[in-house]
Amino acid sequence: MEEAVEDVWSMVHAERAALIADLESLDAQQWEAPSLCVGWTVHDVVAHLVDTARTTRLGFVLGLARARFDFDRQNARGVERERGASPQETLARLRQVASRRSTPPAPLDSRLVEEVVHGEDIRRPSGLAHSYPSEAVVRSLRLQARTPAAFGGAKELVARVRLVAADADVSIGEGPEVRGPALSLLLAVSRRRVALGDLGGPGLAALAAAF
């Protein structure tokens, strides 16, 4: 069990380091471009990653209570709190928290979901490509598939279709098949419409209609 925990944190820290390296290449215009996360710029997403890296179990509960149990409001407040006056300031904050191991009261694999999905929220609009470890993507996909939408997951969405990864040993759910790269499946069930173009199969229409 301890070894598995260490493996997850090793992947999380590696992904944070890789994203920091990519962010160093962005110009001011790219930082303020819309991300894949609706309503947030690339800069906003980076601030969110700083906030989630700082989050502790107790801090999450207290913050949620202050936000009147509204996850969107809680996230917006976190972005406002951690977004620096400049991209360089926010990036410096991300560097400061890159090695942290604190988490909200959620499965540890949720830290992988944060790094992979939000990593793509930033990279795709910025024209950046990154090769994620297959294990990180698969673990993220499996967690999203069993997590209710009320907690940011896709359990109800996946109940309508069967997800089949073309590049990993993954088959989740029952119903008409949706097939494609595991990363694109993860983004699709995380409601990133851009990933639908990477997918195919008789269940794709049902998946797209559920957004």
Identify which of 171, 123, 102, 167 has the alpha carbon closest to the alpha carbon of residue 15: 123
Same domain, 6 and 102: yes
Same domain, 102 and 138: no
* Count of the separate structural domains present in the chain: 2
Structure-token pair, residue 47: 């601030």
Report the pLDDT value the prediction gives residue 2, as an integer from 0 to 100. Answer: 53
DSSP 95: H
Q: What are phi and psi of 170, to 5 degrees?
A: -135, 125
Structure-token pair, residue 107: 């499965």
Domain membership flag for residue 116:
no
Q: What are phi and psi of 179, to 5 degrees?
A: -120, 145
Domain membership flag for residue 40:
yes
Q: Which residues contact 61 (CB under 8 A, 6 or more apart)?
A: 105
Same domain, 7 and 93: yes
Domain membership flag for residue 111:
no
Same domain, 100 and 142: no
Domain membership flag for residue 128:
no
Same domain, 90 and 24: yes
Q: Is 191 left (phi over 0), alpha (psi -120 to 50) or beta?
A: left
Same domain, 87 and 146: no
Same domain, 15 and 100: yes
Same domain, 36 and 99: yes
Low-confidence ranges of the chain (pLDDT < 50): none
Same domain, 170 and 89: no
Same domain, 145 and 98: no
Query: How many helices, marked H, and strands, marked E, lie in the chain?
Result: 11, 3
Strand ranges inside 74-170, DSSP E = 162-165
Domain membership flag for residue 120:
no
Domain membership flag for residue 178:
yes
Widest CA span in the chain = 48
Report the pLDDT value the prediction gives residue 169, as an integer from 0 to 100. Answer: 95
Residue range of the domain that includes 13: 2-106
pTM: 0.93
Residue type, 76: A
